[in-house]
Structure 1
Amino acid sequence: MNGSTYAPVAADPVVAAAAPATATATEPGPELGRLLRPLFRAAAPGSGSAVVVIRGDERTVACRGHSDRSSERPVRADTRFALGSVTKTFTGLLLAEMAARGEVGYDDPIDRYLPAGAAPGYPRERPITLLHLATHTSGLPRLPVGLLPAVAPRWFTSPYATFGPAHLLGALPRTPVRGTPGAQVRYSNLGFGLLGLLLANAAGQRYEDLLEARVCGPLGLVDTSCGPGREDAAGYRRGRRVPSFRLPALPGASALRSTADDMLRYLQAHLALDAVPLPARADASVLRTALGEVRRPRVDRRRGGARICLGWNHRSVPTAPEAGRPAAEPAGSPLGDDPRGGSGDDLRDGLRGVTGGGVGGVGGVGGVADGIGAMGAAASGGTDREFDDEVVYHAGVTRGFTTFVGFSPRAQVGLAVMAGTLPLRSRSFAQSAYDTLRTLVTERRSQGE
């Protein structure tokens, strides 16, 4: 459990320091507790949650509530939460790792790793590539064709458990591609799930086993996996417990579960790989290359939106206050990038047009991740010279969990937030997490650290 100590919280969050092998545990001061209170309040009432904060050499884990309301089991740093679409950052890292080894290429066409006749229909003069899948520019829809009929009979139990890889491969030839691949960003769980499948095919291993061998194992993420594990938190939606999330067809999109301890190590690796003790078998040079590649912006969004990396979103951050606005407060509409104006729950948005609306879903927060902290140059009233920092982040939502993970390499700041419930306003919760990350970054930079 990486030396963490745990402090379940009643009313206000009590912060407990985590002590990985590379850092000395320090008791956080009251200013950090003050900063985290709005974040805990943004979660649904009774939510069990865990927060990880990295500020330079300081590592902190704060736990609140219960992972299982029936047994009143307190949340600990080794309690596992569903990551939802944060899984995509792991799949992006797996792609970068395999590319660094020369096993795949970013511009490889997806046909190369699919059975004959299984590719979706698209103009052959511009094939869909692995990079298109990793940057949501493939033109593929959010969800597989035929998913609704498969999940509807089991909607209130475990709807996605029977939709497996065979169903996905059967649906791909019937899947429409919108526009020219690489021309436009369209958030797609199908695209990232397909990326995980193609990487597994390229390596000749299951996605779960490949991720363990190339990412989770070397980084020491002992409790991060697609299957059940110890101390799993229960997910809740509208106060009711929901079954454990399973999506065998698209594990690379949203199937992972993890702990605060593991997310601490995951963030440390993205900030500085040297801070994570690696096993002798790990190739540090390959991992270092891959970790640098995943946070490099590949696609610029229109209207000042987040830039797209390999599974991550990227934004510039002004550390100087704007006129009449604190430095840590986001300018512009907090959800200005979401053209749908919906909840951001990918599956609910994907099915609304078919079912008439209102069905609960899973699969990430495309709208949330796209829209968090909208800050175009017009909103900030400045040029690129006013932006001297950056944040890299992603958010995820399943039927019973909400997650946010982000970091700033320059400021050496990281934040991970995991809640065992779906808040009534999941975008507000994700926005609160993003605002907290920005505040951590701007305060640290303003102190000259």
Structure 2
Amino acid sequence: MLFEGLADRLQEAFKKLKGKGKITEEHVNEALREVRMALLEADVNFKVVKDFIAKVKAKAIGQEVLNSLTPAQQVVKIVNEELTDLMGGTQSKLTVAAKPPTIIMLVGLQGAGKTTTAGKLANHLKKQNKKPLMVAADIYRPAAIKQLQVLGEQLSIPVFTMPEGNSPIEIARQAIDKAVSLFCDTVIIDTAGRLHINQELMAELDGIKNVVQPQEILLVVDAMTGQDAVTVAESFNATLDVTGLILTKLDGDARGGAALSIKAVTGKPIKFVGMGEKLDALEPFHPERMASRILGMGDILSLIEKAQSTIDMDQAAEMEKKLLKEEFTLEQFLDQLQMIKKMGSIESILNMIPGMGNIKKLQNVEINDKEILHVEAIIRSMTKKERRNPNILNGSRRKRIALGSGTRVQDVNKLLKQFEESKKMMKQMQGMQKLAKKGGFKLPFMK
């Protein structure tokens, strides 16, 4: 989980403060020492940590904090605000050209994931009712052009290519004319990966920039490289004056130092983050939401947006009607699981719910996405009649279902018990808002 170690350390430090009836300057200093160590262990730039702690301390030892009724909460509020500010303050959106097309250059090191990110970004913009054109300007890496063409086919998005022998600058120039002829309002140029110390290739990027005059030059960096990502960002920015960054593989970086350092060091905002391998796993970066997640406060806005973009609302409404008529069956239960799966890993969803991370730790709950597969296998091994009326599932039927799904009878019994508990809890929540209904019942894959 992203920022897992940092989140645990920070929350533990603030828990100690909350245990004090009245806090002193020494209590604040002790907590900030923990915060400092947590940030350094998360691979945050040393100078960034030093400045961050100084800012928090200056605000946290003020008399209005020490003398307040809830000083511990005040300190957490200050840390939350400073974390948000450290990562950019507010969301930085893409700059749009006054006259289409908007031109976006993707640059970065080899292996940072630029070509895949080009597909993800094009997919994201298509969902925003944009009409993107992807441009294969990486003529150096074998199969780079083919990779972009395959992504274009998967996403039904056009890809501009030119015969071998044309330079990336010429490809970029002609791509703009093609975008105009196709009525595309956005051009995404996938450039070749290069070392920031390779002056010849960096000059080529500068040449593309001068010819197409892009609205955005987005540097794609691998978050898992930590402080190296910050160094790379500084070098590319010095040559190209990048407009923003896309951090890839952020879901695989438990420390998160690059995300916390890069804006402070380069002055350039993080615009998107890659949170998985799927083509829809690119998210706009919201500093305030990320800070909230780090401090265990959840991220309910992102959860709502994720639900709205992935869940079929008509299907959800139909499911609600059936529940109100007490017609909720294992078939609908399976449909509900499928909708939740589309939103990402179960753990990532629960971490967006305020306080849920702490509840998991307190109750020692293990979240395992593989359990969903077991649940699906069990339900799919039932006949239609059994799914619609679980009351007929006697001992022999349960044995047959367990055998057919590759599970144990105990697993079948456990699922049926939790399904009944879910129905009871959902009935109790009929008067609540839809979001509460979807989030409140016990999931069958929480052990």
Q: Shared fold (TM-score greater than 0.5)?
A: no
Q: Rg: which structure is higher? A: 2
Query: Which structure is higher in RCO with an 8 Å CA cutoff and minimum separation 6?
Result: 1
Structure 2 length normalisation: TM-score?
A: 0.27
- Write 1 or 2 for the structure with the bigger share of helix: 2
